[in-house]
Amino acid sequence: MKVLVCGGAGYIGSNMTAMLARGGHEPVVFDNLAKGHRSAVKDAEFVRGDLADYGLLVETLGNYGIDAVMHFAAFIEVGESVEKPLTYYRNNFCNTHNLLCAMAEAGVEKFVFSSTAAVYGMPETTPITEETSKAPINPYGESKWAVERLCHFLSETKKLRYAALRYFNAAGAGQDCTLGEDHRPESHLIPLIIQAAMGKRDAVSIFGTDYPTPDGTCVRDYIHIEDLCKAHLLALDKLDEAYELVCNLGNGKGYSVREVIETVKKVSGKDFRVIEADRRRGDPPVLTADATKAKIELGWRTDYPQLEKIIQSAWTWHDNHPDGYDSKSPRPV
């Protein structure tokens, strides 16, 4: 299948592109490189473009004979979204609306959308099922939820077949540890801890040690990037028959911030300074997924549920790319 991967130069998109190519599909990456890295795109055609550019989208969908779109191009910083709601709604919602319009014009009806556990806000109970109330507490989560609602209504008109995949905490490196996580600025826990272990940061901060969790720190459900991408391939196949598919993607097991720090210390063999800091605004104490639906409806199985394996892959990538994608000559794996 010819698949347009919007945001295919980013962390999840680049891993997805590589997996599509491995699986015999023909991915075409569409990315404005505002956040992504050109060198993260290897086995695919590359179109440098912005989702706001309607003409270029229609042209690209037509010229490449695209059969389906996977959409990863979004801003993902919860804190920043609170400061800049207009920016988040424009990029995450308006640009996706533009993309869906272009797909309608070009006659492309399959859409796999990168959604998030942030649509659930502060859930009262965990693990979270797809039926748990959707109550986003920030513009980031709202902008993703608004796209899901739009897709839902479009699917009812039978003009769109879509899968909304709600990620918990994507982590690790894929494609034999050659495609890793390099956000600028970095805000995600695992890469930040690894940077501390590599001596690139003075310390790592724990945001809150007084949560109602076993060790007082937040608990998250980390899912290996390869397992996450695998679910997208299954979802794409499912869209041959389904108009609507909404699934959580997580392992169903949570690890605390302290456990993640200890695991990085173990995997890397390095010690580093840990600072106990105040809570970060808007962090739910526990987010774990009930991913039974993805297992039943997609036949999804995770290959790397162990935190240590996830962190080992991330460590390998960072160790080989000490300056991220700017590394002059990344060491071969």
Nearer to ligand UFG, 220 or 230 (CB): 220
Give residues in contact with ligand UFG (CB under 6 A).
76, 78, 116-118, 140, 169, 187-189, 192, 204-207, 218, 220, 257, 280, 283, 287
* Eight-class DSSP state of 14: H
User: Minimal CB distance to ligand UFG: which residue?
Assistant: 218
Is 140 assigned a catalytic role?
yes
DSSP labels, 282-300: T--SEE-B--HHHHHHH--
What is the closest distance, in whole angstroms, from the C-beta atom of residue 122 to ligand UFG in the complex? 10
Containing 330, the helix (H) or strand (E) segment is: none
Nearer to ligand UFG, 154 or 218 (CB): 218
Q: How far apart are CA 115 and CA 168, in angstroms?
A: 9
Are the C-beta atoms of residues 288 and 223 closer than 8 Å to each other?
Answer: no
Residues in contact with 139: Cβ distance below 8 Å, sequence separation at least 6, in sequence order: 81, 82, 84, 85, 88, 89
What is the closest distance, in whole angstroms, from the C-beta atom of residue 260 to ligand UFG in the complex? 7
Angle between helices 257-268 and 189-197 in degrees, nearest 10: 40
- CB atoms near residue 139 (< 10 Å): 24
What is the closest distance, in whole angstroms, from the C-beta atom of residue 258 to ligand UFG in the complex? 9
Nearer to ligand UFG, 207 or 243 (CB): 207
Nearer to ligand UFG, 253 or 280 (CB): 280
What is the closest distance, in whole angstroms, from the C-beta atom of residue 23 to ligand UFG in the complex? 26
Nearer to ligand UFG, 101 or 277 (CB): 277
Residue of 11, 88, 140, 222 with catalytic role = 140
Q: How far apart are CA 190 and CA 130, in angstroms?
A: 26
* One-letter-per-residue 3-state SS of 56-90: HHHHHHHHCCCCEEEECCCCCCHHHHHHCHHHHHH
Q: Is 65 exposed, middle or buried (0-12, 13-18, 19+ CB in 10 A)?
A: exposed
Catalytic center residues: 140
